[in-house]
Structure 1
Amino acid sequence: LGGFPITSDRPNIITVERGRSAVLPCQPPTGVPDPETYWTDNSNIGDQFGFLVSNARIQQDYYGRLYFLNVLDEDEQRQYICNVFSKKLNVIRRGQLTQIKVIKTDASLWKPKRLWSSEANKVFLRGYKMTLKCIFGGLPTPQVIWRKLNTTGSGFPDRRSSLTMEKQELTISDLTFEDYGVYECRGTNELGAEVFSINVRIEAQPYWKVKPKDVHVTEGETVEFVCDAEAKPPPGPVQWFRNGIPLLDPSVPRNPRRKVIKNRLVLQNVTKLDTAVYQCNVTNIHGYQFSNFFINVISEPPEIQKGPETLLRVVEGADVTLQCETFGAPTPKVYWYKRDQVITGG
């Protein structure tokens, strides 16, 4: 986890007129995985910076900046500090102190104005979570109303959607392709409203429609493997491997009985030499799906496990059944003889 830029020990002073909006900057360090960024103040006993700063009038964007939708006199009674926390390392880094100086002018009411929002065009992945946020300044403090255009009601799925951060943030989980569309946030107070629209596209990393399975076959059979995945944008051609090596690699022996037809791998008239582990890979710009599967070609010589009895005594005119149980791979053909003459087969 990196550190904040080297700054002065003295607080950074931001001057703003009473009732107007203010932005407290923050340059959070990066880390792997991304650390959590949040603001605290020293409003608790002992001047320790332990109180989280977030309410209907004070909000944070996704880059760490803190927004005062309208400044009150009480805001200059505290000092604020930007923090980052790495859960993996269990380490906290703190930035420079920031203090607001309020110019005591008569506060004028003003209608909502967008201070920050998610980008106007956003792409999210199927199955993942979507978060959109709009921050509006104004006096009185604006309320935020969300809706999805060209739908009935709010247009949000009841069980998968929620509004947080004083309704300034919309979250939809387990995204489907039907969640695409235009989402509108409206900041409103008694003086008016401002509207911002966000166009959302839902794309997807590859996901299986048909996944190849392991097979056990006997010599002479034909085997077909299907590696079928969908994605948005569509995936590229299926990549095939044998024992981890691309089929097109010169080190993989050519096999005229092996054919690749788009998303299908066909092995005709298999022999013991075709026993191997195969792989297929499907990729687009968002990710990939990779599968291992094997073909086990069984070859066992014919064996009579249970033949007919040497002597059977039957009544003249009665039916008789002679038993011959065999095993082998491929399945053996059975022939019956009488006095060295073949009388049937199969």
Structure 2
Amino acid sequence: MWYLLCIPLVSAAYGGIGPPKLLLQPEEEVWYHLGEEEYQRRLTLKCEAENADTFTWVKNGRQLSVGAGDIDWERPGQSGSIFFHRSKPHNQGYYQCFAANIFGVAVSNKVHVRLGSLEHFPKRPVRVINVREGDSLTVDCAPPRGTPDPELIWLYRDSEDSTVIETIRSRHITTDAQGRLQFSTVELSDGRSSLLYECAATSPVLRGEYRSGDQVRLEVSPRSVSSACGKRRCGADKAATAIKKLYVSPAEITVRAGTRLKIQCIFGGRPLPTVFWSKIDGELPKGRLKDLTSAESDFGKSFIVDNVHPEDAGTYECRARHLVHTVNVRVLAAPFWEFDEPPRNVEQAEESTGELECLAGGQPTPIITWSMNGVLLHELPEDHRRVLLDHGRVLRIRQLNHDVDTGVYQCNASNPLGYVYTNAYVHVKAHEPRFLIPTQRNWKVVLHSTVYLDCSVDAAPEPIVRWVDADDRPIQIVEGKHQVVEEFLELFLFLSFDKSYNEKWYSPFTPVL
């Protein structure tokens, strides 16, 4: 009987869970305010990571003492998130979270914690506005003072039930960029006796909440049927009114690359005008354009593009019947991620070559800097295996070493207009060979057939696989009889059987792995 053995060979190996990976971090700017409401909505800075053994925070470049004063861990030993028992003016500053284990350190973006404020609306009685059905209407709202400037929103409220509050989502009612409520055409139902329109102010300092403000009630009088539109033809509630501009965005708009572009064209008239959008000097960015039929885009009255690219600059046009408005959009090319994604993580075997890409665009061209575990590469001992390519956009590491190269790498792309920053995780795999097949297998084969014996092995670094017989002698490859084919990490042995094999080995032939 013949025995065929598949033997994988590899150098000493290591195991491990890999470097820490950030799962959650704060936004780049966090606002808070002082006052009694802080007891209900405390200031929290989130920092969640996978595989992290320890968390530390740095404020303005100095390590922060957590758990010894007004700042405490949200879930000690389980999370890096911290909270402030009671916010104070001196809590302002730049914060950064470090998540570490034996394989490396993941670093969050710098968080600018800022003190803000938002005053209350003055108490005013309900304002009553008389309007005719079918007319257009603009309702103003004076915002309270605040830092940063508050954003105005409008809500439905029931005057008979104070618990009934609803966001306005209507095809004929829109809030413009200046916080005014625009009725493209007033419907009779807009003047229901129990319906109030409430202006409210939001601000980052309120963290998702708002301050209630002025309330408005409409008294809508029916429009009489004109002689040009008989009641039988269009009905009193369908009487047409002339189209007009209620609000359009400024003729010049400047946005930063990577942020959101929003252009508004709100037209009044009856029937309700349909707004058509186009780009005069190019194609619309359809892949990043919000659905123009959705409530988020105000049913076509708002043109919204996420993650603006420099090529989105140009002249945009909105059109409703014979009315046209153009807006020239200028894009400031602060650094942004090309292809809409930051560098990808690397997970490769020892002794292979790995590449981290920091593909950021901008104008002027961003300067790329790399760090490892929070330390700039040029501050680490020189290593000829690390090479920067494409003006620093690509970091190549040759002959990956588990002990040296496993870690968290930080990429920072910056120019005078701003920066983008992220972590990329390099996990160098190093483990002993393990078979991906049963260790013993039997085949019964037919004379003059071909048998296919595979030897699937997983190891890092990549193993050297050889075939031997029971006496550890290499299999003699005979042209036309045997063939060894390497594919990925598998080694396949093809044997073509004839009568000579039966005589030489045994019958029936049963090789055992």
The residue that corresponds to 1:27 in the other structure is 143
C-alpha displacement of 1:274: 5.4
Task: Please say if 1:183 is aligned against 2:316.
Answer: yes
The residue that corresponds to 2:158 in the other structure is 42
Stretch deviating more after TM superposition (282-291 or 101-110): 101-110
Whichever residue aligns with residue 98 of structure 1, its letter is: V
The residue that corresponds to 1:94 in the other structure is 212
How big is the alpha-carbon RMSD for the aligned residues of Structure 1 and Structure 2?
5.6
C-alpha displacement of 1:55: 3.7
Residue pair 1:129, 1:171 contacting (<8 A) in 2 also:
yes
Task: Please say if 1:61 is aligned against 2:176.
Answer: yes
- 1:323-334 alignment to 2 at 5 Å? none
Shift in CA distance, 278/67, structure 1 to aligned 2, threshold 3 Å: closer
C-alpha displacement of 1:129: 7.0
Q: What is the CA–CA distance in structure 2 between the aligned matches of 1:82 and 1:230, rounded to whole Å?
A: 41
- 1:152-301 alignment to 2 at 5 Å? 161-164=291-294, 165-171=298-304, 181-188=314-321, 193-200=322-329, 205-207=336-338, 211=344, 213=346, 217=350, 225-233=355-363, 236-249=366-379, 252-254=380-382, 260=388, 262-263=391-392, 265=395, 277=407, 279-284=409-414, 285=418, 287-293=420-426
Q: What is the CA–CA distance in structure 2 between the aligned matches of 1:58 and 1:102, rounded to whole Å?
A: 15
Shift in CA distance, 201/116, structure 1 to aligned 2, threshold 3 Å: closer
- 1:110-189 alignment to 2 at 5 Å? 110-117=242-249, 120-121=252-253, 123=255, 131-138=262-269, 140=270, 142-150=272-280, 161-164=291-294, 165-171=298-304, 181-188=314-321
The residue that corresponds to 2:70 in the other structure is none
Whichever residue aligns with residue 324 of structure 2, its letter is: V
Question: Aligned with 1:144: secondary structure?
Answer: coil
Shift in CA distance, 8/278, structure 1 to aligned 2, threshold 3 Å: closer
The answer for unaligned runs of 5 or more in structure 1 is 299-346
Task: Report which of the two has the higher share of strand.
Answer: 1
Q: What is the CA–CA distance in structure 2 between the aligned matches of 1:246 and 1:198, rounded to whole Å?
A: 43
Residue pair 1:240, 1:247 contacting (<8 A) in 2 also:
yes
Q: What is the CA–CA distance in structure 1 between the aligned matches of 2:163 and 2:399, rounded to whole Å?
A: 77
Stretch deviating more after TM superposition (100-109 or 11-20): 100-109
Residue pair 2:128, 2:216 contacting (<8 A) in 1 also:
yes
Question: Aligned with 1:195: secondary structure?
Answer: strand
Q: TM-score, normalised to structure 1's length?
A: 0.55
Q: TM-score, normalised to structure 2's length?
A: 0.40
Whichever of the two has the greater Rg, that structure is 1
Residue pair 1:281, 1:290 contacting (<8 A) in 2 also:
yes
Q: What is the CA–CA distance in structure 1 between the aligned matches of 2:118 and 2:189, rounded to whole Å?
A: 30
The answer for unaligned runs of 5 or more in structure 2 is 1-40, 42-116, 227-239, 432-513
Residue pair 1:133, 1:170 contacting (<8 A) in 2 also:
yes
Residue pair 1:163, 1:170 contacting (<8 A) in 2 also:
no
The residue that corresponds to 1:82 in the other structure is 199
Give the fraction of aligned pairs with identical amino acids, expressed as a percent.
17
Shift in CA distance, 26/48, structure 1 to aligned 2, threshold 3 Å: farther
Shift in CA distance, 162/42, structure 1 to aligned 2, threshold 3 Å: same
Shift in CA distance, 3/42, structure 1 to aligned 2, threshold 3 Å: farther
Shift in CA distance, 254/30, structure 1 to aligned 2, threshold 3 Å: same
Whichever residue aligns with residue 425 of structure 2, its letter is: N
Q: What is the CA–CA distance in structure 1 between the aligned matches of 2:402 and 2:283, rounded to whole Å?
A: 63
Q: What is the CA–CA distance in structure 2 between the aligned matches of 1:64 and 1:153, rounded to whole Å?
A: 30
Shift in CA distance, 156/265, structure 1 to aligned 2, threshold 3 Å: closer
C-alpha displacement of 1:217: 4.8
C-alpha displacement of 1:69: 3.6
C-alpha displacement of 1:112: 0.7
Question: Aligned with 1:238: secondary structure?
Answer: strand
Question: Aligned with 2:378: secondary structure?
Answer: coil
C-alpha displacement of 1:116: 4.0
Stretch deviating more after TM superposition (271-280 or 159-168): 271-280
Number of aligned residue pairs: give it: 284
Task: Tell me the alpha carbon deviations over residues 146-167 of structure 1, each in whole angstroms, 9 at most, x when there is no partner.
Answer: 1213489999579963324343
Whichever residue aligns with residue 247 of structure 2, its letter is: L
Q: What is the CA–CA distance in structure 2 between the aligned matches of 1:24 and 1:194, rounded to whole Å?
A: 24
C-alpha displacement of 1:240: 2.5
Task: Report which of the two has the higher share of helix.
Answer: 2
The residue that corresponds to 1:303 in the other structure is none
The residue that corresponds to 1:339 in the other structure is none
C-alpha displacement of 1:246: 1.1
C-alpha displacement of 1:278: 6.2
Name which structure has the greater RCO, CA cutoff 8 Å, separation 6+. 2
